[in-house]
Amino acid sequence: MYNSKIIGLGKYVPENVVSNDDLSSIMDTSDEWIRERTGIENRRHIKKGDGNSTAIMGYKASIIALKRANIQPKEIDLILFATLSPDYYFPGSGVILQELLNIEACPAMDIRNQCSGFIYALTTADQFIKTGMYKNILVVGSENHSGGLDMSSRGRGVSVIFGDGAGAAILSREENNKKGIQSSFIYSEGKYAKELSLIGPSTNRWVPEILDENDPEDISYFPYMNGQMVFKHAVVRFSEVIQEVLNKNKWSSEDIDLLIPHQANLRISQFIQKKFKLSENQVFNNIMKYGNTTAASIPIALSEAWEQGRINNGSKIVLAAFGSGFTWGSTSVVW
């Protein structure tokens, strides 16, 4: 049985920087309020006319990852595209990315697991490679949040958190089972589905019905988050899945070279860091610059950590995520 090794990483974020002060000019919030609750200082938003979309940002990140992996698009056997904000209701963004990469024919699959989408996608890719079905898999996380946020005081509790961007990883077959992905764990708990959700429009309540009602107070088409509940469950589930990969690999906290958590909230990351007694050098956070980019947050952070020289040959990496669904998971990697 083969192992999966990450051989190339790439990231892309829009050029348009939106600061906390920028948001305070259009809604009742402040830099202090946002930093205190989330740790976020800036985020990137697509700007109308800049040519970006979920698939196009995924394409830009993928081109960088392919170049660093030293392989051509035609060598990709499968595309896994994690997003909650696809370009279209259907088809998925994976097939759009395939066309942008000019790949004549390969399977493309969208994975709709929101904040833990990249972990789910890595786990899926790992299984395809382990069984020998595919050799090279492109895994992308990309989000265009700004196109669907309530940018008013009413929506500030959610809208100040999220940013746009994309990250990509090339996974390839590795015969040395001491390198590459060592273990993955993924879970869900659907009874909490509505605690972090966007309910409409959907096939249960489609656009004509919403328009006919013409209800200015209808916020079903904006994201909803029960912040306290999400925080409470996140710190528990993060802890569980991180401990699970440590147990599986017989690692201690001291063995972790870098923990890259989903960039949901800096306070969650700090709680986990303290719980596992990790040093500042053992945890990577960039939510301060980019906000929460959901499925894109881990690949953006992973790519940035690699670019900064914080990931080297033999580094032991733990990736962990929690989010809407509720869904959560973790992956351990030896670089």
Segment 9-43, tens digit of pLDDT: 999 999 999 999 999 999 999 999 999 999 999 99
d(CA 284, CA 300): 11
Residues 134-155: what's their mean pLDDT?
96
- Tens digit of each residue's pLDDT (9 = 90 or more) over 270-320: 999 999 999 999 999 999 999 999 999 999 999 999 999 999 999 999 999
Q: Which CATH architecture has domain 3-177?
A: 3-Layer(aba) Sandwich (3.40)
The structure tokens listed for 54 are: 């979920």
Query: Over 90: is that where the pLDDT of 1 sits?
Result: no
Query: What count of Cα atoms within 13 Å lies in the side-chain half-sphere of residue 32?
Result: 0
- Annotate 181-194 with DSSP letters as a single string: EEEEEEEE-GGGGG
Active site residues: 115, 262, 292
pLDDT of residue 132: 95
| CB 80 within 8 Å of CB 92 | no
| CB 331 within 8 Å of CB 245 | yes
Higher pLDDT, 2 or 316: 316
pLDDT of residue 176: 85
Q: Residue 334: enclosing H or E segment and its boundaries?
A: strand 327-334
- Annotate 100-158 with DSSP letters as a single string: HTT-SS--EEEE--GGGHHHHHHHHHHHHHHTTS-SEEEEEEEE--GGG---SGGGHHH
Average pLDDT, the chain: 96
CATH of domain 181-334: 3.40.47.10
d(CA 171, CA 135): 8
pLDDT of residue 22: 98
pLDDT of residue 315: 98
If phi > 0 it is left, if psi is from -120 to 50 it is alpha, else beta; for residue 137 that is beta
Amino acid at 287: I
| CB 237 within 8 Å of CB 279 | no
Residues 60-73: what's their mean pLDDT?
98
| CB 238 within 8 Å of CB 274 | no
Buried b (16+ CB within 10 A) or exposed e, 84-110: bbbbeeeebbbbbbbebbebeebebbb
Query: What 8-state DSSP symbol labels residue 281?
Result: G
Per CATH, 3-177 and 181-334 having the same topology is answered yes
Query: What count of Cα atoms within 13 Å lies in the side-chain half-sphere of residue 320?
Result: 25
| CB 145 within 8 Å of CB 161 | no
Query: Over 90: is that where the pLDDT of 202 sits?
Result: no
Query: Over 90: is that where the pLDDT of 214 sits?
Result: no
Q: 86: Cβ–Cβ under 8 A, 6 or more apart, which residues?
A: 54, 55, 92, 93, 110
Residues 238-243: what's their mean pLDDT?
98
What pTM was estimated for this model as a whole? 0.96
Among 205, 13, 166, which residue's Cα sits nearest to residue 87? 166
pLDDT of residue 219: 82
Alpha helices in 179-315 (DSSP H): 207-213, 227-249, 266-275, 287-290, 297-307
Domain boundaries, given as residue ranges, for the chain: 3-177, 181-334
The rounded percent of the chain whose pLDDT value lies above 90 is 91
Nearest-10 Cα torsion for 247, 251, 253, 259: -90
